[in-house]
Structure 1
């Protein structure tokens, strides 16, 4: 069983389905509203757990009703929460999500996630040292992201950095990353480059291996020691909600990385494709047998 540690955010997603996105100043009647557990850290933890990994999460929740619901839901997924703090003076993080035409718009209020400190990551060093891989994103303070990268480097554990929401990052940080997993916009932002630049050139410029997600097109990846990027085609599905597809991809990549990068990227693309066929970030995340069935049909 793969051991994965995720350092990241935990949110309650407030999801509204709409016929289209409203314009500035416009009031539009929605079609459905649901509350769904989310946050990039929690999402990636759930994705990995559903694929059979042993997962521990490092994060923070408020001492509120959303925090109670989120904590209980993560426990039901079998995720180890020894390093998830409950903060009495903070609300839990939320994300307001509008879904229209299979795409989404998201507004995040970090709340307790903004209080996840490097010291909490250090306290999880025992779990991180035993892990096969660590996942970290950027819905938490940058100092905590840096602490995770440096701890992974010190302990010899590969760290996958999903740079979302993206901000420019020092090259010194990126050199400590085993895999950087952006989309094209995120890669340009991280490198402080022209967003219209050719993504192949951006992948070459990055000082670490890159796995670049391209939505329905699939993913491009360049490992250490390889000059040219390889392509993994996407899997054709009927998209219902793309929320959480990137998180699903990252969780799957961490789980399957022991099989080698090409196999891991292929399985991650299949897992992400299945995730967009159902509503909600965690609600759409598939189990291992579903991924194997899709891969089996493709092979046939």
Structure 2
């Protein structure tokens, strides 16, 4: 089983010609609502790709007692995600405000709401004991995620930690603890550099150098994603595995990284080697960019198999 501990949001999306700069106002014809939150996105990606496979998906997190929260729970259930460990709190459901420009790039502001009230004690021991893979992000309190990661490792689960968005962690020792509790670290180019520099490492703005330092010095397999250039996994011994994306013209890149993480987790839960799981995740992330919204384009298993067959 894959267990995701993380955020659940409603995304409000406006398409614009260009993303607003500081102090600038831009107009959009309309705003649309989509289901989101990095935790929920990753759970949905894993559940969709897992349909017809052996790895079930469960989510632990929190929503508000409001219409957004009810809708988010229904959406998770509809996608095959177990939500028994999602609490309903007297806090507003998390909400993300997203602008997407004509090239498909995005800018995101998140109002965390109930996500900041998530606690490690919300994770039932019996659920964690069933997990072969635990997936974490950085949109719920970091200390709570760290406690869940430690518990998961004690029970034998593989911990996949997506360091996004990179938090302001000033305590060097705390960051080292996070990496020590992680089996597979997933970061994009900018996140890799930010984490390495927060640890005092000199990486000269090079994301592959940063990924190498994180893997060799701190222990996890570090997977660095680089958009259309694919992804690279760096092992603690310094060896690298490369995976390519499918050439596409993106409609919306929102959720592509979460698709990658969820499909990667599914691959690991199904016993794939990191390289094969990463290649499948890259293809799924490409597919997700063809549809607007964080979750709408996440592929089902048969859709991804068709895309793989087409090369």
Fold match (TM-score > 0.5): yes
Residues 194 and 223 of structure 1, relative CA distance in 2, 3 Å threshold:
closer
Residue 60 of structure 1 is matched in structure 2 by: 62
* d(CA) in 2 for partners of 1:262, 1:162: 17
Residues 29 and 267 of structure 1, relative CA distance in 2, 3 Å threshold:
same
- Do the aligned residues in 2 keep the contact of 1:18 with 1:32 (CA within 8 Å)? no
Residue 49 of structure 1 is matched in structure 2 by: 47
Residue 16 of structure 2 is matched in structure 1 by: 18
Shift of 1:28: 2.2
Give the RMSD, CA atoms, in angstroms.
Answer: 1.4
From 194, 198, 208, give the equivalent of 2:206.
198
Shift of 1:135: 0.4
Aligned: 1:238 with 2:243: no
Residues 202 and 26 of structure 1, relative CA distance in 2, 3 Å threshold:
closer
- Do the aligned residues in 1 keep the contact of 2:62 with 2:88 (CA within 8 Å)? yes
User: Deviation per CA, 1:143-199, whole angstroms, max 9, x where unpaired?
Assistant: 111112111111110010000111345212212211000012112222314574322
Residue 306 of structure 2 is matched in structure 1 by: 293
- 1:126-275 alignment runs, 5 A limit: 126-167=126-167, 168=169, 170-191=175-196, 192=198, 193=201, 196-206=204-214, 207=218, 208-224=220-236, 226-257=237-268, 258-275=271-288
User: Deviation per CA, 1:26-68, whole angstroms, max 9, x where unpaired?
Assistant: 3322133210010000000000010124110000000011111
Residues 107 and 196 of structure 1, relative CA distance in 2, 3 Å threshold:
farther
Q: Which runs of 4+ in 1 moved over 6 A?
A: none
Q: What TM-score, normalized to structure 1? A: 0.93
Residue 106 of structure 2 is matched in structure 1 by: 104
* d(CA) in 1 for partners of 2:153, 2:33: 37
* d(CA) in 2 for partners of 1:106, 1:140: 16
Residue 39 of structure 1 is matched in structure 2 by: 37
* d(CA) in 1 for partners of 2:203, 2:21: 25
- Do the aligned residues in 2 keep the contact of 1:189 with 1:195 (CA within 8 Å)? no
Q: Which runs of 5+ in 2 are unaligned?
A: none
Shift of 1:200: 2.6
- Do the aligned residues in 2 keep the contact of 1:188 with 1:194 (CA within 8 Å)? no
Q: Which runs of 5+ in 1 are unaligned?
A: none
* d(CA) in 2 for partners of 1:218, 1:44: 18
How many correspondences in the alignment? Answer: 292
Q: What TM-score, normalized to structure 2? A: 0.90
